[in-house]
Structure formats: C-alpha cells, structure tokens
Amino acid sequence: MLRIDHVVRVVKDLDEAGDRLLRDQGLVSFPGGTHPRWGTANRIAPLGRDYVELISVLDLATASGTTLGRMLRDLVAAGDAWFALCLADDDIDATCVRLGLEAVPGSRERPDGSVVRWRGAGIEDERRTPDLPFFLAWDVPAEMHPGAAAVHHPDGATGIAWVEVAGDPGAFAMWTGGADLPVRHVGAEPPGIIRVAIATPSGEVVL
C-alpha cells in the first residue's frame, strides 16, 4: 500500500524558512538533523502520519559529489522550491521489482544523537521527473516517525490534504502502480509540485 509520507521543500536557510512557515501558514517546525551522506540538513513540521520537510544544503562540497545533493543545489539556486513528494511504501521490495529500482539504506542523525533509518527508492533515479514521487520504508518504531512528534500548530493542522502537481497523470499512475492518492494534476510544464494543502479544523491551508 502506498500513502503520502511527506513533501520536501528545498530552502536556502532552514531557520528563516521555518520562521516563514510558522508566520505565514501556522506550522511549527523543529530541527530534524543532518544527512552526512548528502551534505544536507532538515527541519520537520510533523502532522501525525505525514509531515512537511524543509531541506537545505549545508556542505556544498559533499552535496556536489552526490546526485541528490546536486539536484538540491541546482534547484535552490533560483530560490526556495518544492523538490519532491515521498510515498510511504508497505512493500518497497515489490515496487523496486516493478520499476527496476534499488532500495537504498538511508539515515539521519537527530539533534539528540538518535538515528532514524529507512530504505528509499527512486529519489536519485534518472527516470524520476520532478512530478513523480520517490518511495520510503521506515526502519524505526512508529513513535520515531518524523510526523509523530508532539507539537501544537497554531492553526491545528492535522495532515496533508492533497498535493497538486504539474505533469503527466498517465506516467504518474504507471510509476505508482495506479495507487489511489490525493494528488491533483494540472498542466504539464514544467513538471513538479505546485501546491500542497494542509488540513486544519477551520479549512485547508495551502502552501
């Protein structure tokens, strides 16, 4: 089964982006930790089963030596931008067989020294255009999932309601195996995430 796990926005400055997210959209975020392999760090806005991730390149030399780091470096050169949609995958091995991907172990060290681990597939695959998601299988207890952190959002945000993307809906359906997901397609160029809606008790907040 596939479901939305998180959305990723690449930003120039994590603290400034976190302040804007709180001021403009009422979402609290906190430092998530570092990804030494890619030279990046992130902030997390937890929403229960899902979350918003802000990611930034901290070590340009390390980032420039990896496919993902170069993607983020080049994308943020023009300013903060949506990077990708991530889907939680209950059977990532089957997805890898279907699409010819490899499930690669990943990890992030949190500020408290604990480590969260996962297996990811498709994020660096050259066939994945910006409108197509990558896949993730978490290797941590449910309480360590980034979305599960206890925070109080001023607007009472409870989760990701929908994601709007520009791209080919047929290619998206093929890539995701026809999964039923709250993803809206508009136009085709340039491909990528356009908007993300967050559910709150008083209505949707659109990022």
Q: Between these two residues, 63 and 4, which has the higher pLDDT value?
A: 4
The yes-or-no verdict on residue 139 having pLDDT over 90 is: yes
What is the phi/psi pair of residue 195, to 5°?
-145, 155
- The stretch 86-115 carries a mean pLDDT of 94
What is the phi/psi pair of residue 29, to 5°?
-130, 165
- The stretch 111-126 carries a mean pLDDT of 92
- HSE-up of residue 24 (Cα within 13 Å, Cβ side): 8
- The stretch 181-199 carries a mean pLDDT of 93
Round to whole Å and give the CA distance between 84 and 69.
13
Residue 156 has which token pair? 């009472």
pLDDT band at 187 (very low <50, low <70, confident <90, very high): confident
At 26, is the secondary structure helix, strand, or coil? coil
Residue 169 has which token pair? 């809906």
- The stretch 103-121 carries a mean pLDDT of 91
- Give the amino acid at 202: S
Round to whole Å and give the CA distance between 161 and 135.
19
Closest CA to 85 of 161, 183, 13: 183
Answer yes or no: are the C-beta atoms of 182 and 162 closer than 8 Å.
yes
Place of tokens 């806005």: 45
pLDDT of residue 102: 96
Closest CA to 128 of 176, 56, 63: 176
Round to whole Å and give the CA distance between 61 and 182.
37
pLDDT digits (tens, 9 = 90+) for 142-160: 999 999 988 999 989 999 9
The yes-or-no verdict on residue 189 having pLDDT over 80 is: no
- HSE-up of residue 100 (Cα within 13 Å, Cβ side): 5
Place of tokens 């959209």: 25
The yes-or-no verdict on residue 188 having pLDDT over 80 is: no
| % of the chain surpassing 70 pLDDT | 100
pTM, whole model, 2 decimals? 0.94
Answer yes or no: are the C-beta atoms of 2 and 181 closer than 8 Å.
yes
Q: Is 42 left (phi over 0), alpha (psi -120 to 50) or beta?
A: beta
> Any idea of the CA torsion for 192, 207, 184, 31, to the nearest 10 degrees?
70
